[in-house]
């Protein structure tokens, strides 16, 4: 049977953001090609070495999946596959997808350079449209600060649920922020305006909806169970301190000339640190499970039959 070609919904704002020279140079030189925050023990003040913190963040997401070696995972929004390769070194088999073709090109180069072709694959695909993936194909799905780019978040979560095997895991590291009517008195106007501009110019429409607890409720509404959300804002704050120190003087110059739209990452680094210290936004680690049984099961006999069909042949023989 011929494999379906993934359907892509054109997203010019997202493509422009990742194609911008500030994103390309910043992510490569400052983050080593990685596109996520670092994770630090509580009480950490000094953000360096950054590389160790980035790997700890990947370890944290890996831990949320709670999957044994050999499990198959979809990394939705894989970028250059740094997370996927880290998971593969721990024994997971990872399919990475991203709608930015340049990310996938670099990911494939990195996979080949590390001789991980047997464990990691990457392709251009849109997590809104996963119809090329059969039902119940993956043991796990993860997003590392990429669900915020979704234009139809409920559709994305519905697709994640569909492609997960019964009992499969989803793990997400994503942002949250306060709405305008939740901002405490005295909040500087420039901070609330910066958050809106960062969301707009970085193509993060779902971030506008992710108040604390909203992602948890979205997952429940789509049919996930055992949903747990934990705020880890304090664990990622040292990364923002690093960005703040690095970008403060350039940001003053950018503001003087009114160029914030063209330097959205610099603005995010400086204003993000100010905002997280005021608890205007934060960072959540979320995990959940796909139910073992379909919600439309009509009785114990039907459920038993469906579960029997899902067992591998070796386990079926043991039960007979």
User: Tens digit of pLDDT for each residue in 83-126?
Assistant: 999 999 999 999 999 999 999 999 999 999 999 999 999 999 99
Which residues lie below 8 Å from residue 211, measured CB to CB, with a gap of 6+?
A: 176, 177, 178, 179, 182
Q: 148-195, pLDDT tens digit by residue?
A: 999 999 999 999 999 999 999 999 999 999 988 899 999 998 998 999
Whether the CB-CB separation of 160 and 282 falls below 8 Å is answered with no
What is the rounded CA–CA span in Å between residue 81 and residue 240? Answer: 23
CB-based burial label for 55 (10 Å; 0-12, 13-18, 19+): middle
For the record, the structure tokens of 155 come out as 């559709």
Q: At what angle do helices 82-89 and 101-113 cross, to 10 degrees?
A: 30
pTM here?
0.89
Tens digit of pLDDT for each residue in 182-194? 999 999 989 989 9
Q: Token digits for 241?
A: 């301190």
Per residue in 14-57, pLDDT (tens digit) is 999 999 999 989 888 888 889 999 999 999 999 999 999 999 99
d(CA 25, CA 225): 40
* Residues 222, 161 contacting (CB under 8 angstroms): yes
Which stretches of 46-193 are assigned E, i.e. beta strand? 72-76, 93-98, 120-124, 138-144, 164-177
**Residue 3 has what pLDDT?**
58
- pLDDT (tens digit, 9 = 90+) per residue, 272-310? 999 999 999 999 999 999 999 755 443 444 434 434 443
Cis preceding linkage at 16, omega within 30: no
């Amino acid at each position: 049977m011929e494999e379906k070609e993934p359907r892509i919904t054109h997203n010019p704002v997202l493509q422009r953001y990742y194609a911008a020279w500030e994103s390309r140079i910043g992510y490569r030189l400052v983050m080593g090609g990685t596109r996520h925050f670092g994770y630090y023990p509580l009480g950490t003040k000094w953000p360096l070495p950054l590389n160790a913190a980035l790997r700890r963040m990947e370890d944290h997401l890996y831990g949320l999946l709670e999957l044994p070696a050999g499990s198959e995972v979809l990394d939705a929004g894989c970028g250059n596959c740094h997370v996927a390769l880290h998971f593969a070194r721990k024994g997971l088999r990872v399919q990475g997808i991203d709608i930015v073709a340049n990310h996938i090109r670099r990911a494939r180069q990195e996979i080949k350079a590390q001789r991980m072709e047997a464990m990691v694959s990457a392709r251009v695909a849109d997590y809104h449209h996963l119809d090329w993936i059969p039902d119940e194909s993956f043991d796990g799905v993860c997003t590392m600060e990429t669900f915020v780019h979704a234009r139809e978040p409920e559709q994305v979560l519905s697709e994640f649920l569909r492609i997960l095997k019964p009992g499969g895991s989803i793990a997400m590291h994503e942002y949250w922020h306060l709405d305008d009517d939740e901002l405490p008195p005295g909040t500087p106007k420039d901070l609330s305006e910066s958050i809106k501009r960062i969301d707009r110019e970085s193509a993060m429409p779902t971030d506008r909806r992710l108040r604390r607890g909203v992602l948890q409720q979205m997952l429940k509404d789509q049919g996930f169970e055992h949903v747990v959300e934990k705020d880890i804002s304090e664990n990622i704050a040292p990364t923002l301190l690093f960005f703040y120190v690095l970008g403060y003087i350039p940001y003053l110059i950018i503001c003087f000339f009114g160029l914030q739209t063209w330097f959205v990452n610099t603005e995010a680094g400086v204003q993000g640190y100010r905002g997280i210290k005021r608890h205007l936004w934060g960072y959540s680690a979320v995990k959940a499970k796909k139910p073992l049984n379909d919600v439309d099961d009509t009785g114990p006999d039907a459920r038993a039959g469906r579960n029997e069909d899902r067992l591998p042949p070796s386990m079926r023989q043991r039960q007979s």
